[in-house]
Amino acid sequence: MLVIKDLVKTYPSGVQALKGVNLELSPGVFGLLGPNGSGKTTLMKIVATLLDPDSGTIEMNGADLINRKDHTREMLGYLPQDFGLYPTLTAWQMLDYLAKLKGVTNRKERHSLVDALLERVNLGAERSQRLGEFSGGMRQRFGIAQALIGEPQLIIVDEPTAGLDPEERLRFHNLLSETANENTVVILSTHIVSDVSNLCTRMAIIRQGKILSACSPRQVVDELKESVWEGTVPREQLSAFKSEFNVISSRTFDGDARVRVISKAQRPHGEFTQATPVLEDYYFDLVNRQN
Amino acid sequence: MSTRFHTSFAAVFTNEVLLSTKRVAPYVLIVLFAANKVLWWAKGPAVGLGWATNSVFNITRDYTGFCFLLGLPIFTGIFMGDPIVRDFRLGVDPLIFSKPIGRAAYILGKFFGNFFVLVVCQSAFAVTAFLLQWVPFSGMVVLPVRVVPFVTHFIIIVVISHLMLGAIYFAAGTLTRNAKVVYVIAASFYPVYVAFELLVMKNLPVVFRVLLDPLGFNTHRLQGMNAWDQTAEFLNAYVVTYDLTAYVNRVSMVVIAAILLFIVYRRFTIAPLNEASHFTGLKLSSAPERLAYAAPSGGFLDSGTYELTERDRIPLPQVTSTRSTFSKLLAALETEFRLLRAERSLLVLVVLVILLSIVNLPPYRMVPEVSYSVMFATNTANTLFVLLTGLIVFYTGETLHRERELKVEPIVWSTPVSNSVLLLSKYLAMVSLTLVLVLVVSLIAIGSQLLRGHTLEISAYVIVHGVLLVPGILFMTAFVVALNVLLRNKYVAYVIAVGTGAGLVYLYNLGYTHWLYNPLLYRIWTYPDLTTRPMLMKRLFCLGLTAVCLGLAHLFFERKTR
């Protein structure tokens, strides 16, 4: 169990990135959902020991992660949002290097581990290729491989599916689901709602450094059943419509506004039809209520 | 020229100036140059010899020294080699080149924007000299206040010389898109220039010396007279003039700069270079401001719908994590060597070091004071000190900041490896590299001695290189490591390191050479001293400083372990 308590972080520029974050994460894949600048990456960096908070604590099974960084790094697998690689090393050489830093000293065991990891992320054939020649997707897969070294108990993946094609994205979902067992906490930070729907048993929505909600994706979507409506409104009437109903999204279509509305009590308009609720509906409803 | 050119040129120019105002390096340079001018003014030979500090002779003399000393040619490299490479490194290039900007406007805006900032920094020296005319100083001769000589000679001696040098660095950096190539050229400037003066210029008639000198050293000499033989009255009244040959020299420097800029204009391309793959920086698309509707998210994944393939079932071996720091250090060291080996510029520099060391071996006719081996070892040690200082300053900075620039830092820093391993691997890699160079140059000197039929004394090499070079290398590398860790900016570290070195050399040349602030023992050793007890103390002091520098680096390393 990973417990985050009262985490506060203000950058020297004065930007308050985290304003007292509290979370409890049990083993499994936990989704952290939020727009850019919401504090996701700051939170990820603090948990990954790369940034110190101003105050607050993080504990994993009772062990202090902030003040015992060496211990934390031994059980950590981290895939940053934006990372680079040594361009002149081959994939095998760099993964071997990172495995050594991780403490895999047994040569035979390490080589076997590196080979297996490269195979897992579908880079077995490119093991001798220089990393400088890798495409964006290949680098991302390499990043995933290095995060899995040493069977980490805490895996942090920050925007992991960016740059992956649909097939690789699905493979990554599968890999992550497999990795998350009864002993492993996986934190998936993302802005892609479908990644959270597909992978996470629990999730939190973070915005402007605050946790707006910590919940189960399936449960919150279930709660919206028979409350989401979709229909078309003339563009000139959109403002008036918005003031009357809880419009969660609108887009222009064929000259009119196509809107999505949450309304539990009544059908907003005669031509509106009931829509299948999705996680985005919950998110925007939450944000609208906060605003 | 069209209005569009003017607008684009002005935009690029002002943006470069704006960017420079947000860097620390120009301000450091301004302080360094102004402080040095005060030092030269108060402690230079003018006071003792009765030279008027604002005489034209003294002004040109100071400008000539300034043009060459204080590491100015290296600073020019730092300023002028990077402007266009920076755009590609930061990934700004697509944003710029997708706009209707002409190649000439872009290149010239970049060049002159940075050159303007460089000249502003250089002018701190001239402005300080100008202002010091009003400062009273006991025993100092000051002529009536003057303005024009400060400006004209500054332009003729300093600005034009560095215009040409700046164009060389700019062309090298832009066409290779590799800042390290510029560093190599900058680091090799002094040895190449000194070798050129000693081996080529020295033997030429005066007219060719004036014509070919890139820094204009000979353009305003006292018509063959030695300044030290002249009276102060004569020098104070002397009017420095430039003859036709001198003007041809200065004009040709401007023409060379123009030709280089034209070559850059012709050869510049925005397409990725073949070498680009050696500089990776993963640029994933950053997340949008809102949540993404990348795929339907209403349904939830049924794990059973994805059939596991063979490779998904490959078991990962159980990892037994040990705390063996030594094995991690070896792994990090091995990787550092791999990365250094891939540095093409370093290979060029290694060859250059070897060639210059051969060039600087004593000539055949020279008679040794102690023995040939001592003379050869001393000569190679002196040459190596200069070359290795440049190599250590630039490559240690590159090595220490590599992870950040390549964005590998979050991956490496999140592994359970101690800070001492990360720092020591870089330190030891640089030390090993320089020691290998010392060994190679020693072997070349030994080979040269054998070819000349000298009696060989290996002990002379062991003593000179072992007692002088090795502790010096250990200290210099540790100092640069500490500087980079403390300042967290490699460019500021370059400026401080080179500025400190230049300032110390100037002090040493004035006679302030005490070993307490001269850990490299510049000009205060003789061969017999090297095996004495006091020398042992001095070397232990140097090693002590090394330990202090490494301790500071460890203490202030940005990555926290607790």
Count Cβ neighbours within 10 Å for each residue of A137-150 and write b for 16 or more, e otherwise. Answer: ebbbbbbbbbbbbb
**To the nearest whole angstrom, how far is the Cα of A30 from the nearest Cα of chain B?**
15
- Residue B252: what pLDDT? 94
- Tell me which residue of B501, B508, B504, B510 sits closest to B47, measured CA to CA: B510
Q: What domains appear along chain A, each with residue ranges and CATH number?
A: 2-215 (3.40.50.300), 224-290 (no CATH)
Confidence of residue A127 (pLDDT cuts 50, 70, 90): very high
CB B544 within 8 A of CB B479: no
User: What pLDDT, on the 0 to 100 scale, is given for residue A274?
Assistant: 87
CA distance A16 to A8: 8
A66-125 residues touching B, CB cutoff 8 A: 67-71, 73-74, 76, 78, 80-89, 93-94, 97-98, 100-106, 109, 112-113, 116-117, 119-120, 122, 124
Measured distance CA(B152)–CA(B517) in Å, rounded? 38
Q: Which residues of A touch B335 (CB under 8 A)?
A: 86, 89, 93-94, 97
At CA A18, angle to CA A13 and CA A22, rounded to 5? 165
CA-nearest residue to A276 within chain B is B298
Return the pLDDT at B460.
93
Confidence at A181, pLDDT banded by 50, 70, 90: confident
CB contact under 8 A, B338 and A88: yes
pLDDT of B467 reads 93
The pLDDT assigned to B545 comes to 96
The residue with greater pLDDT, B15 or A270, is B15
pLDDT in tens, B379-399: 888 888 878 888 898 889 989
Per residue in A44-103, pLDDT tens?
999 998 889 999 999 998 889 998 888 888 889 999 888 888 888 899 999 998 888 888
Position B281 scores a pLDDT of 34
Q: Is B484 helix (H, G, I), strand (E, B) or coil?
A: helix
pLDDT of residue A179: 78
Position A125 scores a pLDDT of 93
Give the gap in angstroms from C-alpha B170 to the nearest C-alpha of chain A: 25
Query: A127 and chain B: CB distance < 8 Å anywhere?
Result: no
CA distance B339 to B430: 12
pTM for the predicted model, two decimal places: 0.69
pLDDT in tens, A183-218: 889 999 988 888 888 889 899 999 999 999 999 998
Q: Where are the alpha helices (DSSP H) in B202-280?
A: 206-212, 232-237, 244-267
CA distance linking residue B51 with residue B63, whole number of Å? 15
Name the stretches of chain B with pLDDT < 70. Answer: 1-2, 219-225, 227, 272-323, 344-345, 363-366, 561-562
- pLDDT greater than 90 at residue A8: yes
Render pLDDT for A223-256 as a digit per residue (tens, 0 to 9): 888 889 998 888 888 888 888 888 888 888 888 8
Q: What pLDDT does residue B513 have?
A: 86
A137-157: average pLDDT: 89
How confident is the model at residue B319, as a pLDDT? Answer: 57
